Every structure is written in structure tokens, then in C-alpha cells.
Structure 1
């Protein structure tokens, strides 16, 4: 509860400001990738890593960061996350090379994990009853608005300043959030916190990082080269070790028992498929706009804004829809919308206007908006109360891994399909445009396939009336408690 003399809505303000930063930095950077590539002489692989470094660090640290916060204090970890995020944003703005920027983006992901892992716990401890419902509603609205505004804000910044300001603009927001958190957010802990799972942390981080590295670098190294095979084998072995460690530990960070529940497994697959199919596509669609149509900045951001606004509108109505229609139908319909939308976007080619892909963008926006809140609703419905925090964390991890692997896998496909133009002069420019268009079609087809498989599995696994997931052990409670 908020203490006497504190601003009643201070915790909500601090958490919402942090959430705005987290979601803006997922989408805002996609619009700036062409400008970053030119300024830092970055390759396609570098652009992939600028997106993936953030998502990978966030996914790798999210679950264990919550355990640390439960033990040493959520406000403390939250403020440390803000400081880390602000420092990383400064380093991103000062980057003099692609490698430096990638490292700074990874540090942003570290700060993001601290903020993501503590935000809802802070709200749960600060508010009860009607106030908690209002706080969670505002939190969800800010989440959707930040995603929707990312491309537009990024494009607007690029119109008046260089790309570095998409990161530097975070600093005043960080400063305000720190002041509010220190003055108005009470410190809370879990009286019986889960211990930090170091074995799971290391094996999961190494496994996911190795998998993404193999996908991104495999084209350059050769898919059957010793280096690619070694990195892929490292990914397989460490991820297998991770699963074994989680099965054997009394208090794992990743509860495999939850995945035995069909509805939870279906919602996790839907979260992964949604992120992998759509976020991977955004990166290469922006590159197409710049390379073929010669536009970036605000015009490109405006085109992506259509997707995110529709996602926001669809998300607002998803709650009512899920209460009237089976969540299984909503999830399968959402992913089917994305699959059909991506398939329709293959009509876009070097000789057509971008509006040819407008129906596909509309369907992708609707699919994204319907999927996210429904996934969260199913996750909370099937998870036992004492596993709710872990279930939400696992769900978020599936999303971020989907972003990272989707961008990497589609990048490998795009790079493999992109052929050098066999022409000169004006004909070379036209041939290059055709090559980009053909390569983008491969991305659309891959994204459509991922979404379609996700729709099929969601329809098969998610039940009309979810039942609580089974657990092998009775874990220690994770209900927020005042310090």
C-alpha cells in the first residue's frame, strides 16, 4: 500500500513511465534502422543484432530478475533498472560504431528486464480492490499506446534530428520516473522469495544467444561450416541442459509443469508465433521502404502506425470478445488474420505502390491486437495463483524469444534470397529493386507460415474452459507483501 504523505498514483505513474520506455524502444528503433545503417556503415546482420540484442537480454534475464527483486526489494531493482536503462540509452546515443551500439542495446535489455520484472509486482503491492483494477487498466492502455506511437515518434524525431535522439529522448523520462519512484513507491519484498536459479540463467542465456548467432551468421560462415555447426550444437546442448536443470530443481525459474497444461502451452506458442511472424517482418519491410521507395523517417513511421493503431483498437475490444467467444477461437482467428495478411502482402513488388499491401497491414494489425491480451487472459486463467507471476514471466519470455529468433531467421532467409543485380546503370537500380522485392516475399511467406502453424496449434491446444495447470510441487507463495 502507498504510505501516508505519498502521492496515491505515484507508483502507477512511475511504472507507466517505465513501461512507455520499454515498449517505445521495441518499435521506435525499427524506423531508424536505415539511418543507423548509413551513419555507422552497418551490415544487414548488424541491423538484426541491434533489434535482437535488446530482446535477447530482456528474455534471458526476465525470470531470474523477478526472483532477485522479491529478495532484495522491488523498488530497489526498479530504480536500478531505470538507471541502467538511462545509462544504456546515453551509450546508444554516443555510439560510434555498430558493435558499440549493439552492446549498448544489450545493456538496455538488462535494464528493461529489471523494469519488466518489477512493474506489475509494484502495482500489485500498492493497490487493492477498485484501485488495483484502475491501475492495471491504465497499465494495459499505456502498453498499447506506447507500441502504437513508437513508429510515429521515431519518424518524427528523424525528421528534425539525427537517429541518436531516438535513444537520448529517453533520458528526461528516466529522470522523472526515478524521482517519482524514490518519493512515492514503497519498498516491498516477498517474505519467502524463490532462490535465484544461476544454472538455469547461464544455460538459457548461452543457448538462446547461440541459436540467434547461428541464424544470423550462418549465411556468411556457410550453413554447413564447422563454425556454424559448432555454434548450433552449443545452442542445442545448452538448451537441453537448461530443460534438464529446470526439471530437476525444486524451485526452477521456468516451470515445465505449466507447459503440460494444454491451454498454457497453446498460449505460449501463440505469444511466440505472434512476435516471430510480425516483428521479424517489420525490420525488412522498413528496409524495403528505404531501398526500393527511397523513404524513411516520418513517412515510414506513418505507414507502420496504421498497424499499431489497429492493434491498439483491437486490443481494447479483445477483452469483451474473449468473454463472449472462446479464447481458442479468438487466438486462432488472430493468428489466422496475421497469416492471411502476410500472405496478401506478397502482392507488393518493385513496380507497385505500398498501398497494395494495405489490406495485409490491416489484417496484421488486427491479429496482433487480438492476440496479445487474449494470450495474457488465458495465461492468468490457467495458472495456479501461486504460479501467476512465473506464468506471466514465461509468457513474456516466449514473446521476446519470438522477436529475437523471428528477426534472425527471417534475416537469414532475406539475405539468402537477396541476389546481386546482373545489370548496370539504370537497369541495375531496377534489378536491385526487384531483388529486394523478391527477398521480402520470402519473409512474408515465412511469417505467414509461422502464424498459420501458431493458429493451428492454438486451435488444437487451447480449451474453451481453461483449467488450472498442474504442478509437481507446492512452490512458495509469490503474493506481493509489504517490506
Structure 2
């Protein structure tokens, strides 16, 4: 039985506090992407160091979400929510005063961990505060809040950078986190699962180690060479830690990840939704500012205005999806959304350098299509487990989403680097090295002086379009998975054995 301090008042304030915390996270995510070119110029950083501005945050965030969910169930959702927000505020201030790229990347990783604590505990607390249709509406609003952050994040961060510099984006995120803490401190009720046991430290260590090793290999691969001993060693270590993690979870009396949930096809289908949106939507949030600001030479503000076409649909489409789900199955809606996003990605391949009207139309289709699964997947994720396991469910789903986003970003940047490098070698002499292609993929043209700008832009755009075809294929696979696994009604998931907590 879940222990909750009963209170019928303050639900609106609780929802406000958790949604404010949810707003901070996409702002931190998009802010790092928009600020990357400016940070690169300020610190004269290497391509790998620049890649870690976003990936360190996502890696710290995604690797510890399941652990944060387990800790929230065991020690209290309010307690962990407030601690996560406090840490986020402190780290935001420290980031604003970082004096070199190494410290900035390390602080971004710690900020990701703080974000994991806030999101996992906040989602679990929201599941305790609301029931039935009210819970569905609350999580739809949570998804819409994420959409607001993604919609206006690039524009808001662009304004801050142009008027106050890139350091202001970290102070702004800290201020919002402080406001969320203040509201939650006075209105959020404490809740915990008395049957939950301690943290699965071996599971956390093996899962985090696997993600860290794999992400490091993907980021360093273009610069070190994919056949170098360092990269092969990192990949081998990640490969060994994957079965180790699975074996540890199967043998644990209180696993961080209850693998029994994967017996249900619909549960697997729910986990596929955030993976699909990673490749048709999230990666573009990072890649497009690098293209528009770094390669096409637009200001951060104008880039943010163009990106509204991609992210503004998230303001309304998730709520529309929840409303349509009364009559149309989740599988049908998600399938239709991914197909629409795939069409938008195809249209994006037809948008050349400076063709911003065509680009906006393509982004509008992508954002609208991605918003359909986005509005349903949070509620679906928690509906497949007993209420007492809400922390674990939130942790599993958000780990799939955020760890998947981190891996997707690392993979797509590595793929774009390889594709741009291939195009450079075809368009010019083979004397270019991997670092030049990596800098171009990250939009860091400040260190590419003396080279033909037209050649660089042509190589980049050809490589970018080739990457879009890969993203189209992944998006179509997500559509097929949603159609096959999410059409049937949701099966009841049995409560766990007493031996399992």
C-alpha cells in the first residue's frame, strides 16, 4: 500500500510546480544546443568538448532516471523532488560563471543528474495526486509543458544570448527551478512506497557505465578513428556491461528495472514511442540550430523564430491527441503521427540553403506528427504498472526517453560527421581530416578559416540530407511498431509478488 499524506487541496499548485520543473528541462536541453556556437567561440573548444555540452547533460539525466525513480519510491517523492531542484539551482549559477569548457561540461553532467531526480520524483508524485481521467489530463498537460519548453526554448535562449550572452540561459533556468521549488515546498504532499527497498547499486553502476562508455565511444570515434584501441575498448566495455546489467536485474530481489514488464507487447510498444520521437523530432532540436546558426549564418534569434514551426505544434497537438484518444486507439494515433513526421522529414530533404519557407512547412509537419505520440506516451507509460510502482514506471519510461535521446544525439552527430567527411572528400581533395568534418557538423566554422565557404556549405547540406533519409527509415519503423503493438487494449498488469516488494 502506498503511503500518502492525504490532502484534497493544492492539486493545482502541485501540478504547477511539477510542470514548472518540466519546463526547466527542455529549456536546459535547447539552451545548450543554441549556445554551442557561442560557447565554442568563447572557449576555443575542441569538437569533442563542444559535443559534450548537450551530451553530458543528457547522459547524466538518462543514466540515473531509473535510480531516481527507485529512490523516490523508497525515500519520498517530495523529498527527492525538492533536493533535485535545489541542486539544479546551484549548478545553474555555477554554470553561468564557468571559466573553461571542461568545468562547463562536468557541471552539465551534474545538472543532468539533478534534472533526473526532479523529473522522476515529480512524475511519480503527479501519479499519486491524481486518479483516472484527471491523471490523464494532468500528464497531457505535463507533455504540453515539455512542448512549451521545446517550442519557445530556442527563441527564448536566442533572445538571452543576443542581449545578455550565453551565460544568461543558465541563470534563467535556475530561476525557474527556484520558483518550482518554492511552490512545491508549500503544497506538495509527501508519498512513498513502504515496500520499496534500497537502491540497486550494482544495477545503477552497470547501466550508467554502459551508457557512459558507449556515448564516449560515439563522440570520440570521429576524432580518434573507429578502429583505434581506445574506441574499440570503450565499445567492448559497453557491450560487456549490457548483459551484466540484465543478469543483475534478473537475480535481484528488488530490481531497479522489473524485466517482467517486457513480457507485455504493449509495454514494449510504449517504450518504442520516445525512441521514435528521438529520431524524428528531438535530434532536430539540436541539429537545426547548429545548421542555421553555425552553417547558414543566421542569428540565434532568427534561428529560434524558424524553429517555432517545429516545436509550436507541441503546444496543442498533445492535448488534441489525448482528446482524440476517447474515440481513436493510441496505436492508430501514434502510427499516423509517425507517418506524418516521416513525410515532413522527406520535405526537409527538399529544402536547400536559405529556402526557409519550405523548411518551415516541413518542420510544421514534423512537429505536428511528433505531437500525437508525445501527448499519449506519458500516460500510457504509467498505466501499465500498479500505482505503487509509479516511481519505477516513471523511471523506466523516462530512462528510455532521455537515455534514448542522449544516444540518438551522439549517433546522429557521429553519422552526420561521417557523411559530411565523405562529401568533403568527394567535393575536394582527400586532405581533410576528421576534426574538420566534426567541427562543420557542430556548426563551428570559426576555426575553418581559409577554406571555400560554398564548398563547406555544400558538403554539409549533402551530408545533412543523407542523414535525413536515415531518420525517415527509423521513423517509419516506429510507425510500424506502434501499429503492431499498441492496437490491442491495455492488459492488466498483476501486482508484484511480496518477495519483489
Q: Same fold (TM over 0.5)?
A: yes
For the Cα contact (< 8 Å) 1:281–1:447, is it kept in 2? Answer: no
- Residue number in structure 2 paired with 1:373: 375
- Residue number in structure 1 paired with 2:478: 454
Counterpart Cα distance in 1 of 2:295 and 2:141 = 40
Residue 361 of structure 2, aligned match among 350, 353, 359: 359
- Residue number in structure 2 paired with 1:153: 156
What SS does the corresponding residue of 2:195 show, helix, strand or coil? coil
- Residue number in structure 2 paired with 1:402: 404
- Residue number in structure 1 paired with 2:443: none
- Structure 1 position 365, deviation (Å): 0.1
Structure 2 CA distance for partners of 1:374 and 1:434, relative to 1, 3 Å: same
Cα shift readout 1:365-388 (whole Å, capped 9, x = no counterpart): 012211112223433443344444
Cα shift readout 1:194-253 (whole Å, capped 9, x = no counterpart): 321111100000001111111111112211222111100101111110111112212211
For the Cα contact (< 8 Å) 1:257–1:469, is it kept in 2? Answer: no
For the Cα contact (< 8 Å) 2:139–2:378, is it kept in 1? Answer: no
- Aligned residues: CA RMSD: 2.8
* Number of equivalent positions: 476
- Structure 1 position 6, deviation (Å): 8.4
Structure 2 CA distance for partners of 1:446 and 1:174, relative to 1, 3 Å: same
Counterpart Cα distance in 2 of 1:120 and 1:453 = 28
Structure 2 CA distance for partners of 1:73 and 1:437, relative to 1, 3 Å: same
User: 1:343-358 counterparts in 2 under 5 A?
Assistant: 343-350=346-353, 352-358=354-360
- Structure 1 position 100, deviation (Å): 1.6
Residue 32 of structure 2, aligned match among 25, 29, 32: 29
For the Cα contact (< 8 Å) 2:310–2:360, is it kept in 1? Answer: no
Structure 2 CA distance for partners of 1:435 and 1:8, relative to 1, 3 Å: closer
Counterpart Cα distance in 2 of 1:455 and 1:128 = 30
User: 1:312-391 counterparts in 2 under 5 A?
Assistant: 312-350=315-353, 352-391=354-393
- Residue number in structure 2 paired with 1:270: 273
Residue 197 of structure 2, aligned match among 190, 194, 197: 194
For the pair 1:111 / 2:135, whether they are aligned, the reply is: no
Counterpart Cα distance in 2 of 1:472 and 1:132 = 22
For the Cα contact (< 8 Å) 1:200–1:245, is it kept in 2? Answer: yes
Cα shift readout 1:39-87 (whole Å, capped 9, x = no counterpart): 2223443333211111111111111122223333332222211121012
Counterpart Cα distance in 2 of 1:326 and 1:429 = 50
Counterpart Cα distance in 2 of 1:366 and 1:172 = 30
- Residue number in structure 1 paired with 2:228: 225
Unaligned runs of at least 5 residues, structure 2: 430-447
Counterpart Cα distance in 2 of 1:456 and 1:293 = 35
- Residue number in structure 2 paired with 1:445: 469
Cα shift readout 1:324-352 (whole Å, capped 9, x = no counterpart): 222212122222222222222111233x4
Counterpart Cα distance in 2 of 1:439 and 1:225 = 24
Structure 2 CA distance for partners of 1:218 and 1:138, relative to 1, 3 Å: closer
What SS does the corresponding residue of 2:325 show, helix, strand or coil? helix
What SS does the corresponding residue of 2:492 show, helix, strand or coil? coil
- Structure 1 position 126, deviation (Å): 4.9
For the Cα contact (< 8 Å) 2:344–2:362, is it kept in 1? Answer: yes
Q: Which range is displaced more, 254-263 or 319-328? A: 319-328
Q: TM-score, normalising length from structure 2?
A: 0.87
For the Cα contact (< 8 Å) 1:62–1:114, is it kept in 2? Answer: yes
Q: Which range is displaced more, 197-206 or 16-25? A: 16-25
- Structure 1 position 135, deviation (Å): 5.2
Structure 2 CA distance for partners of 1:442 and 1:133, relative to 1, 3 Å: closer
Structure 2 CA distance for partners of 1:354 and 1:131, relative to 1, 3 Å: closer
User: 1:22-101 counterparts in 2 under 5 A?
Assistant: 22-101=25-104
Q: Which range is displaced more, 353-362 or 224-233? A: 353-362
Structure 2 CA distance for partners of 1:318 and 1:131, relative to 1, 3 Å: closer
